[in-house]
Every structure is written in structure tokens, then in C-alpha cells.
Chains A and B, each alone.
Chain A
Amino acid sequence: GDSVTQMEGPVTLSEEAFLTINCTYTATGYPSLFWYVQYPGEGLQLLLKATKADDKGSNKGFEATYRKETTSFHLEKGSVQVSDSAVYFCALSDTRGNTPLVFGKGTRLSVIA
């Protein structure tokens, strides 16, 4: 079945450091790919998405590019802030829509001032 593998955390960075969280997937067909973020005590929020190969999703300074050849969707941010401390989940879904998301295990990011 479909699966998502993302780098294990926790990841600890200093403010203004560069962030990369790796995510690779296994799926039949061409899934849509997502990054969700979970701030402490809250639910998951959609951070960005890409629905086809070479699409770049971006939001709040975060970016991820759908790479079909490497089945990857790595999350990057050029300069992290303390407020970015959260758990980040990579996920995929079938392009048909209305199908359950398959999540990676999550990566906890802590940014220190």
C-alpha cells in the first residue's frame, strides 16, 4: 500500500538557520502531496500542497517541490523562527480526492533563540 517516510526527529535549530525535513513516498499512480503542521496543543493545519510532478507548494516561507523521479517532497525554509517550533507531517492522498490521507510519523522541530 501507499506509504510516507520522513526523517525522524527531533530537530533542533537556532533561529535563522536553514531547515530541511526529508520526505519520500511510495504510491501507485500520481498522488497529491502535503505538509501539515501541528503546533503544541492544536490540531493539524495544512501548510502547503502539490498535486503534480514539479509543482512547488509554498506558504509562510516554507517550500516543497514534488519530485516524481526521486519520489520526494522535502520541506525547506530559509530562515526559521522560534514560532516555527511544531511537529511537521508529510502526507499523500490519491488524486481522485475524498480518500484518506496517508501520513508520515512526523518530525518535531524545536527552534531556539
Chain B
Amino acid sequence: DSGVTQTPKHLITATGQRVTLRCSPRSGDLSVYWYQQSLDQGLQFLIQYYNGEERAKGNILERFSAQQFPDLHSELNLSSLELGDSALYFCASSGWMNTEAFFGQGTRLTVV
């Protein structure tokens, strides 16, 4: 158990809809990262938050947004969903001066 919790584990929704994925980092970790894993694209970094502030941005679509709350949990919001957004979405966290990140079990999103 990595200590990173993601909910829900599975999500099925229709095109055009909006969903929210939730992540609770390891106790004490200030950084949260979101990654998308699809079959043909591998692991793509989306966005990082550090202690409530956006710190780094990767290949995140404008339809996607994220935030980190004062209790350090994070949410990834995906809107106007398309079939191509179907993927595994992982959250990871790291602590002060940690170079490695610890991953949650992921949320499998299926857009139909």
C-alpha cells in the first residue's frame, strides 16, 4: 500500500459529461501529480500541485482542470468528455526533497 488513495476506482460516463476524480496523498506529502495512462500514449504527465499551488503543467487539455485543497487532497476535473479521454488516471505524491513519487491505484475512466 503506497498510502495514496484514489476514488473512484472505476467510472463509466457518456460523451459530453463532466467527472471529478479525487486523490488523497500520503500523509505529509505536499506535492500531488496527475498522470494519464492510455494504451498508445504510455504515461503522460498532466499537472502538479505543491501545497495548494500549481507548480508544473504537462500535456493537460483545456477541458481538464485540477486543484489542491488546504487539507492537501486534490481533484482532477474532466469536462466535455470525449471517447478518447478513456484511460487510467493516476495520482502520485511526493514529500519534501523526495525525488521519487508514490502512486495510487488509479481511476479507470470509460467514456461511452
Contacts and interface: CB of A to CB of B under 8 A. Distances in A.
Interface of A: 32, 34, 36, 42-46, 49, 51, 89, 93-95, 97-106
B58 interface: yes
B103 A44 contact: yes
B97 interface: yes
B11 interface: no
Secondary structure dominating the interface of A? loop
B100 A45 contact: no
B100 A93 contact: yes
B104 interface: yes
19 contacts: A34-B100, A42-B105, A43-B105, A44-B90, A44-B92, A45-B103, A93-B99, A93-B101, A94-B99, A98-B30, A98-B31, A98-B96, A98-B97, A98-B98, A100-B33, A100-B45, A100-B58, A101-B92, A103-B42
Contacts of B105: 42-43
Nearest to A104: B42
B64 interface: no
A89 B99 contact: no
The 3 A-B residue pairs whose C-beta atoms are closest, nearest first, are A32-B99, A105-B42, A43-B103
Given A44-B90, A89-B43, A100 B56 contact: yes
Nearest to A94: B99
B99 A46 contact: no
Contacts of B86: none
B24 to A, nearest CB: 14
B74 interface: no
B90 A95 contact: no
B42 A106 contact: yes
Contacts of A94: 99
Contacts of B99: 32, 34, 49, 51, 93-95, 97, 99
A102 B45 contact: yes
A46 B94 contact: no
Contacts of B90: 43-44
